[in-house]
A = this chain, B = another copy of it.
């Protein structure tokens, strides 16, 4: 069942709001969004990935957002919303139908707000939240229940901190950023000097600075810089349980999927896409627009755009075991092939190769 829209729209108004061309009855009331195959008589659906085209003819949706090319091939009588980028148009429609709820402005009585903090009058500070000395919370920003905003933190306008976010002292959160529950912004980077076997802590005196329109996933951690700042540029999106080490720079509009680990002092270029559970070693640089496949560990800088992969192919365990044995001595196998080639070329006789495996 589709979630009921927070706010219903007339189809004509919705088309205009999302910049789509309407074909059909603009007076239909749209009360929700749903997949093609499960949409009801007052839902809007969309077709972006051609593999879902099979659901088009039978859809019960009031209207479908799709490209004019797909629309041309579609004989159905339903209303259409023609868009060059149907998925983006759908995103806009869904944001019209399901606007984020706005908690009441003001400071909840159970919140602990320092006397020297400056909270915009139209900001909302939730139950059991804590705002530190000299912190600033901008216009219309929302600090969820149980959040802890450290001393001298600066939060811009229209920011949403979901419940239980922690922001360490002096960090900066740009306008319209969205931070999900449990994320920790500005904890100390992992910096220790070794003195005869013991670790001496290096104070982490930089900050984390999130530019505008950044989204950070649940339980993700972004460490403050050692001396410089850790920076996430405009529009970058970071998923859940991602670790970003100290002094990193994440380029504008980059996307980093869940469970990825970015070591310290890494520079991720603009528009990069880093797959889930990928791992990027310290002090590396990833060129603008590069794509790193999921689960791929990166140990040298990437200077040429493209998609990079590095995962062991999965197999049934017993077959994997056999291959792993050979893989451990791949260099030996290679040398044996060289020997064979030389022999066949008449360069050298074949010697019986030692072979622990036989």
Q: CB within 8 Å of B: which residues of A?
A: 2-3, 33-35, 85, 87-88, 90-92, 94-95, 97-98, 100-101, 108, 110, 112, 126-130, 144-146, 148, 150-151, 162-164, 166, 168-170, 178, 180-182, 184, 187-188, 190, 192-195, 197-203, 205-207, 215, 217-219, 221, 223, 227-228, 235, 237, 239-241, 243, 245, 253, 255, 257-259, 261, 263, 271, 276-277, 279, 281, 293-300, 306-317, 319-331, 333-334, 336-338, 340-341, 343-345, 350, 352-353, 355, 357-358
Contact = CB atoms under 8 A, between A and B. Distances in A.
A353 B330 contact: no
Given A164-B148, A240-B221, A310-B312, A193 B227 contact: no
| Dominant SS among interface residues on chain A | loop
A243 B277 CA distance: 10
A258 B240 contact: no
A259 B243 contact: yes
Q: How many copies does the complex hold?
A: 3
A350 B296 CA distance: 37
Contact of A308 (B95, B201, B317, B338): B317
A193 to B, nearest CB: 4
B145 A33 contact: no
A296 B294 CA distance: 12
Contact of A151 (B101, B150, B192, B243): B101
